[in-house]
């Protein structure tokens, strides 16, 4: 298993193929070249956590071989950041872990995850310096919903609490912006577009962590299992979503987000591809600030789950207030 000191030395490498970037190998070093055949990045494979490629490209057998050898996944994304496919290098032989995953039939961990998510939503709203009466009432309501979670016996009850809490939270957090409501993947406005992109990057970070231990990422403990949906990644992503919410609001305040950076196609907004590298830079920087916290959270979750420890010992992620 990967130790935390070793993990801290690893990096995510993002290649934008539309800019004519391409990669090659020299011994066990990954080299990324620009369109003029100049090296713009060089990294030993020992320090690669994941390779993300935005745009269309061809994968060589040498790249896939090194992915397996050094244990880093390759994620292929379209120009609008939708998943094309992935080449994973998980610890697939952990049959004991997967056996326990398939046998788990309880909502205790689900309640724990939602409680942690609400705690971070409360902390995020508390970071607002000048709170309106509506904001203070929303914080009190979120506390009330937290107190109801231990009594939620059905999945529908837990999901109902999370849904109502999320609506209150988003209304207050994006109150000063043109917020029309959270509509995943509908892309009805620029905020929803950026939330989808940020959550996608966060999703792949969590997925990388779970692959280190050999989880069946399609076997969820909160999100229902659907064909080809990585439900467990959706589950463990929940406590960390506020990271993305915060950086997007901050970016609006700093003037980093401009309407002209987006295009409207068939009633949906998209980030212009020429701006994707710029936006990726500050979105990923905010997520990578919590790289160690995400790793340690997933590590502790694995140890608690495999050893079937009481829920009080499961990890809790606490977002930092500025």
Contact in structure between 93 and 214 (CB atoms under 8 Å): yes
Flag whether pLDDT at 79 surpasses 90. Answer: no
HSE (CB half, 13 Å, CA atoms) of 59?
Answer: 19
Say which CATH topology domain 4-87 has: Ribosomal Protein L15; Chain: K; domain 2 (3.100.10)
Q: What's the pLDDT band for 18 if we cut at 50, 70, 90? A: low
* Average pLDDT across the chain, whole number: 89
pLDDT category, 67, cuts 50, 70, 90? confident
Is a pLDDT exceeding 80 seen at residue 96? yes
**CA angle, residues 66, 67, 71, in degrees to nearest 5:** 115
Segments making up each domain of the chain, as ranges: 4-87, 95-313
CB 169 within 8 A of CB 120: no
Least confident of 8-17, 86-95, 135-144, 271-280: 86-95
Fold of the CATH domain 95-313 = 1.20.120
Please tell me the distance from the alpha carbon of residue 302 to that of residue 213, in angstroms, as a whole number. 7
Greatest C-alpha distance within the chain? 62
Least confident of 91-100, 141-150, 231-240: 91-100
What percent of the chain has a predicted confidence (pLDDT) above 70?
Answer: 96
Identify which of 20, 23, 26 has the alpha carbon closest to the alpha carbon of residue 60.
23
Contact (Cβ atoms closer than 8 angstroms) between residue 206 and residue 240 = yes
| Residue 294 pLDDT exceeds 90 | yes
Lowest mean pLDDT among 63-67, 110-114, 253-257: 63-67
Q: Is residue 124 over pLDDT 90?
A: yes
Q: What pLDDT is stored for residue 1 in this prediction?
A: 58
Rounded distance between C-alpha atoms, residue 223 and residue 155, angstroms: 9
pLDDT at 181 over 80: yes
Provide long-range contacts, Cβ within 8 A and 24+ apart, for 126-134: 126/321, 127/246, 127/321, 127/322, 128/172, 128/173, 132/172, 132/175, 134/171, 134/172, 134/175
SS3 for the chain, per residue? CCCHHHHHCCEEEEEEHHHCCEEEEECCEEEEECCCCCEEEEEEHHHEEEEEEECCCCCCHHHHHHHHHHCCCEEEECCCCCEEEEECCCCCCCHHHHHHHHHCCCCHHHHHHHHHHHHHHHHHHHCCCCCCHHHHHHHHHHHHHHHHHHHCCCHHHHHHHHHHHHHHHHHHHCCCCCCCCCCCCCCCCHHHHHHHHHHHHHHHHHHHHHHCCCCCCCCCCCCCCCCCCCHHHHHHHHHHHHHHHHHHHHHHHCCCCCHHHEEEECCEEEECHHHHHHHHHHHHHHHHCCHHHHHHHHHHHHHHHHCCCCHHHCCCCCCCCC
The Cβ of residue 35 has, within 10 Å, a number of other Cβ atoms equal to 9
What's the pLDDT at 187? 83
User: pLDDT class for 83, splitting at 50, 70, 90?
Assistant: confident
pLDDT one-digit tens code per residue, 248-272: 999 999 999 999 999 998 888 999 9
The distance of Cα 96 from the centroid of its chain, to the nearest Å, equals: 26
- pLDDT at residue 304 above 80? yes
Mean pLDDT in residue range 190-208: 93
Rounded CA-CA distance 104/253 in Å is: 44
């Amino acid at each position: 298993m990967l130790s935390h000191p070793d993990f801290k030395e690893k990096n995510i490498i993002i290649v934008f193929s539309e800019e004519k970037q391409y990669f090659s190998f020299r011994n066990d070093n990954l080299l990324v070249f620009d369109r003029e055949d100049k090296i713009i990045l060089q990294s030993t494979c020992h320090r690669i956590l994941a390779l993300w490629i935005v745009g269309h490209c061809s994968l060589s057998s040498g790249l896939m071989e090194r992915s397996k050898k050094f244990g880093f996944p390759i994620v292929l994304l379209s120009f609008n950041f939708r998943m094309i496919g992935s080449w994973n290098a998980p610890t697939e032989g952990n049959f004991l872990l997967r056996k326990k995953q398939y046998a788990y039939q309880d909502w205790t961990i689900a309640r724990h995850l939602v409680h942690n998510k609400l705690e971070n939503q409360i902390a995020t709203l508390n970071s607002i310096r000048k709170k309106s009466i509506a904001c203070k009432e929303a914080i009190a309501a979120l506390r009330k919903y937290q107190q109801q979670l231990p009594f939620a016996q059905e999945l529908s009850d837990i999901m109902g609490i999370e849904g109502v809490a999320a609506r209150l939270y988003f209304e207050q957090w994006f109150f000063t912006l043109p917020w029309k409501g959270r509509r995943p993947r509908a892309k009805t406005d620029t905020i929803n577009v950026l939330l989808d992109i940020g959550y996608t990057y966060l999703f792949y970070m969590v997925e990388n962590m779970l692959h280190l231990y050999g989880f069946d990422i399609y076997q969820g403990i909160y999100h229902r299992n659907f064909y080809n949906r990585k439900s467990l990644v959706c589950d463990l992503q929940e406590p960390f979503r506020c990271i993305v919410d915060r950086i997007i609001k901050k970016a609006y305040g700093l003037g980093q987000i401009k309407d002209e950076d987006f295009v409207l196609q068939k009633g949906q907004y998209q980030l212009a591809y020429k701006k994707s590298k710029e936006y990726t830079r500050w979105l990923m920087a905010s997520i990578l600030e919590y790289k160690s916290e995400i790793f340690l959270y997933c590590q502790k979750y694995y140890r608690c789950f495999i050893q079937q420890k009481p829920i009080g010992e499961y990890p809790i992620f606490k977002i930092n207030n500025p």
